[in-house]
Amino acid sequence: MELYRQTISELRDLLDRKEVSVKDIVSSIYQRIDAVEEKVKAFVTITEDKALKMAEDAQKKLDSTEKQSSKSLLGIPISIKDNMCTKGIRTTCSSKILYNFIPPYESTVTSRLIEQGYVLIGKTNLDEFAMGSSTENSGFHVTRNPWDLERAPGGSSGGSAAAVASDECIAALGSDTGGSIRQPASLCGVVGLKPTYGRVSRYGLVAFASSLDQIGPITKNVRDAAILMNIISGHDPFDSTSAPLPVPDFTAVIGSDIKGIRIGIPREYFIEGMDKEIDTSIKDAIRKLESLGAIPVEVSLPHTGYAVATYYVLATSEASSNLARYDGVKYGLRAEGKDLIDTYMNSRAQGFGAEVKRRIMLGTYALSSGYYEAYYRKAQQVRTLIKKDFEDVFKVVDVIVTPTSPTSAFNIGEKTADPLQMYLSDIFTISVNLAGVPGISIPCGFTSNNLPIGLQLIGKHFDEESILKLASAYEQATDWHRRRPLL
C-alpha cells in the first residue's frame, strides 16, 4: 500500500487498527519527496529530523490510548505554507529579506496542529509574501504543476497545492488573500477552502493585506478539509479580528442530502473569453448538482466588474503599510549603507523581488496625499457595494456556484511579462475576499490536455457548512478528485 496516497481519514483508520505506524507513514512521505520533489519543487524547507521526532511522540500517544477520534490529526503528515510562523523553524515568505528568519513563537494555527500531534513535513513555497498567482514570484525557485511540469501550479499557495497533488504530504495549510488557496487548488486538481474572514486566527501569519488574508486547508478530498477546519477554526484572543463564535463540527455535514438547496448562478461569472472547456465542465457540474436535488437560480452580482481594480488598490495599500517593517534593523536582511536611510533603501532594494516592489509602490501611491480620497477611499466604498451584492443574493439562494479560474494551468513564463494578465487570473476569486465570505474549490473535470478544472462554491458569512455539504455531495457523485498526476 502506498501510504502517501491516502487521505487523513484513511490513515486515521489504519493507525487506529494498528495496521501501520506513524513512522511508516512519515517514511512513505519522505520516500515520495525523494522521488518527485526535484521535479515539483514544492518546498522551501523540508523538516525531516523534526518530523521523525514528532512521529515518535505521536506514536507514544497512540500506543497509550485506546482509539483516537476520527477527526484527530495525531500522527498525520501536514505541510505548512512558509508564511506561517513555526517556532524554531525557518519562515521565509519565499523572500530573500527573510532568508534566515527563525520565529521565536508559533502561529495559532500551527499551535492547534501541535496540540493535535500532527507531523510537520516541511514549509511550502509561495509567491513572495503571498503576492502572485503562479508561485513564479518566489525569491528562491519556481514550483511546477504536478499535472504538467511546464505549467504553473497557481499561487500564491502553489507549493502547498502542488505538494498535496503530488502526494508529498497528506494535507497542507495555505493562505488566501484574493484566491491564493482556491486558484492553485483548482489548477492542481485538489480541494482548497478559504474560510469566512475571522473564522481562523491570523496570529503568526505574516501579513500581506490584513483585512483580506485568511488561512485555510488544501486537501485531497472534502472530508479532510472539514477535519482540518474543525481544528484550526475558533476565536483567538491574540487576533482582534478573530470572531468569538462557536465552531460547529464541519464533518457532520459530509454526505448529507442537498435536496432543496438553492444554488445561485451569477451571470457575471460566465463571461466571454473564458476557456470553453472550463465553461462546459462548470455547466456539467451545475447539472450534476441539480440531479442531486439542488435548485439552480440565475442571479446577478452587478459590481463584479469592479472587483479586480478595487482589490489591487486595497491589497497593495495594506501591503505598503505591512511591509514597512522590513527595514533591515530588527530582523531579516540587513544591507550596509552610509547612513540609516541608505541602509533602509539598500536592504529593501536587495531583499524584495520585483512584484513585491511593484505592489508597495502601487499601495504607497494610492495612500499618498492628494490620492487617498480618489483611490483608497473610493475602493473601500466599492468594496461595500460588492459585499452588499453578496448579501442581496444570499437572501434568495443558499450557495453561489462559479468557476474557480477562467483558465486551466498556464505555462511557466506565459504571464510574467504582463502583470495585468496575471492579476486577472484571480478574477473569479477576489470578490469572495472583498466580501469576507467563505469559498471552496473542488475538482470538477479535466481539459483535453489532462489539466484539472475547479468548481467554486461560495457561502454566506460563517456558513462553511453549506459549501462543504454541497461540495461533499458533488464529490461523492463523481470521481474527479480520485485522479492523480503521473510523475
Catalytic pick from 180, 317, 431, 441? 180
125: in domain: yes
| Domain tally, the chain | 2
Residues 315, 403 within the same domain: no
pLDDT, tens digit, for every residue of 407-427? 999 999 999 888 878 888 899
81 flagged as catalytic: yes
Catalytic pick from 111, 156, 160, 347? 156
**Secondary structure of residue 314 in the 3-state scheme:** helix
pLDDT-based confidence at residue 105 (cuts at 50, 70, 90) = very high
156 flagged as catalytic: yes
463: in domain: yes
Which residue type does 202 have? R
190: in domain: yes
41: in domain: yes
Residues 124, 194 within the same domain: yes
Domain that holds residue 363: 305-380
pLDDT, tens digit, for every residue of 232-243? 999 999 999 999
pLDDT, tens digit, for every residue of 430-445? 999 999 999 999 999 9
**Residue 67: how many other CB atoms lie within 10 Å:** 11
271: in domain: no
> What is the pLDDT averaged over residues 38-52?
98
216: in domain: yes
Integer Cα distance of 280 and 398 in angstroms: 23
Catalytic pick from 71, 81, 415, 460? 81
Residues 325, 472 within the same domain: no
240 flagged as catalytic: no
pLDDT-based confidence at residue 274 (cuts at 50, 70, 90) = confident
What's the Rg (C-alpha) of the chain? 21
> What is the pLDDT averaged over residues 252-272?
95
**Residue 96: how many other CB atoms lie within 10 Å:** 17
* Residue 69 clears pLDDT 80, i.e. is over it: no
Q: Which residues of 429-445 are buried (b: 16+ CB within 10 A; e: fewer)?
A: bbbbbbbbbbbbbbbbb
Residues 416, 373 within the same domain: no
Residues 139, 193 within the same domain: yes
Among 380, 413, 439, the domain-final residue is: 380
Residues 371, 406 within the same domain: no
Residues 336, 203 within the same domain: no
Residues 114, 197 within the same domain: yes
8-state DSSP, 487: -
286: in domain: no
* Residue 68 clears pLDDT 80, i.e. is over it: no
C-alpha cell read off for 386: 460588492
297: in domain: no
Residues 217, 250 within the same domain: yes
CATH code (residue 129): 3.90.1300.10
461: left (phi over 0), alpha (psi -120 to 50) or beta: beta
pLDDT value at position 49? 96
* Residue 272 clears pLDDT 90, i.e. is over it: no
Among 380, 407, 436, the domain-final residue is: 380
Which residue type does 430 have? I
Mean pLDDT estimate for the chain? 96
Among 334, 356, 380, the domain-final residue is: 380
pLDDT-based confidence at residue 330 (cuts at 50, 70, 90) = confident
**Secondary structure of residue 459 in the 3-state scheme:** strand
Q: For the chain, give the longest Cα–Cα distance.
A: 70
Residues 199, 120 within the same domain: yes
Q: Which residues of 332-350 are buried (b: 16+ CB within 10 A; e: fewer)?
A: bbbbeeeeeeebbebbbee
CB distance 28 to 48 below 8 Å: no
pLDDT value at position 416? 85
Residues 473, 410 within the same domain: yes
Residues 23, 75 within the same domain: yes
pLDDT, tens digit, for every residue of 461-486? 999 999 999 999 999 999 999 999 99
Residues 6+ apart with CB under 8 A from 46: 33, 37, 121, 122
Cα-Cα end-to-end distance for the chain:
18
**Secondary structure of residue 103 in the 3-state scheme:** coil
